[in-house]
Amino acid sequence: MSESFSTITLEIDDSGIAIVTINRPKKLNALNDEVLNELADVFKDIQIDEEINAVIVKGAGDKAFVAGADIKELRELDNRSGRMASQKGQQIFQLIEDTRKPVIAAVNGYALGGGAELAMACHLRIAGENAVFGLPEVGLGLIPGYGGTQRLPALIGKARALEMILTGKQVKAEEAQRLGLVNKVSADPVEASKELLNDILKNGPIAVRDAIKAVYHSDNRSGYQVEADLFGELCETEDCMEGTSAFLEKRKPEFKGK
């Protein structure tokens, strides 16, 4: 079975593994509003569809999983709309994390900013050999806004997470595995994800569901509110205008701290 939205494809195989493909390759699958809305719709369907036992999320093409939130759209945001954009993405990624069927991100190429945040909202991550992870928002005069300030420290510890967030530096697949950001590196991350899911699906389905529920139960939610508030405030700074404009004009930003 396969279902099509405009920016997302959903295919379901015989074992009930759904493959969600983010399909905007010319913009390296960047998350604009349309992609986010369709991602929410697809995950709402997945949660209630009894034919689906597990999920793989991937990006179309070899170059990128997702290169982040759409910077053209970010440039238009002010404090209020910036906070709301952050909260909207947080809620959709929460919906993904709250899926009580195992969700694996199969990451080929760039997973930057919102793309890394999407991968981190999945329960497990398998990286292709060319995968690159990073939270480059500070280079745009922003901070991660789709939960990255909360999920990255939870996955790799505060010190390593802060280093990645403050420098915006990119890490390749093997380093990502060493850090604990990805579970495995594979030449074929979709195939490797299917193998792992088929192993998981041999176990009791209620136990699998409840194990996911228990692991996420202790998460502290208030950090997400702080992240969204700060993201909104940053949207109104001159530095954010400079950082996002510099990206779109293909030049280096000159920040003034204003």
Token pair listed for 46: 């997945």
Q: Which parts of 93-112 interact with ligand HXC (CB under 6 A)?
A: 110, 112
CB-nearer residue toward ligand HXC: 83 or 101: 83
CB of 179 to ligand HXC, least distance (A): 19
Among 68, 102, 128, 189, indicate the residue that binds ligand HXC (CB under 6 A). Answer: 68
Nearer Cβ to ligand HXC, position 43 or 110?
110
Rg of the chain taking only CA atoms, in angstroms: 17
Please give the residues from 13 up to 42 whose contact with ligand HXC meets the rule CB under 6 A.
27-28, 30
- Please report how close the Cβ of residue 6 comes to ligand HXC at its closest, in angstroms: 17
**Least gap, CB of 56 to ligand HXC (angstroms):** 22
How far apart are the two ends of the chain, measured CA to CA in Å? 52
Residue 188 burial by Cβ neighbours in a 10 Å radius (0-12, 13-18, 19+): middle
Q: Cβ distance 235 to 142 under 8 Å?
A: yes
Q: Which stretch binds ligand HXC (CB under 6 A): 7-15, 65-73, 98-106, 212-220?
A: 65-73
Which residues between 122 and 181 bind ligand HXC (CB under 6 A)? 136-137, 140, 144-146
Q: Which of 102, 114, 189, 232 binds ligand HXC (CB under 6 A)?
A: 114
Which residue numbers are catalytic? 117, 137
The reply on whether position 231 binds ligand HXC by CB under 6 A is yes
Q: What is the 3-state secondary structure (H, E, C) of 110-161?
A: EEECHHHHHHHHCCEEEEECCCEEECHHHHHCCCCCCCHHHHHHHHHCHHHH
The number of residues that bind ligand HXC (CB under 6 A) is 24
Binding residue (CB under 6 A) for ligand HXC from 10, 17, 71, 104: 71
Minimal distance, residue 125 CB to ligand HXC, in Å: 17
- Distance in Å, CB of 243 to ligand HXC, minimum: 9
Q: Which is nearer to ligand HXC, 102 or 147 (CB)?
A: 147
* Residues engaged in binding ligand HXC (CB under 6 A): 27-28, 30, 67-72, 74, 85-86, 89, 110, 112-114, 136-137, 140, 144-146, 231
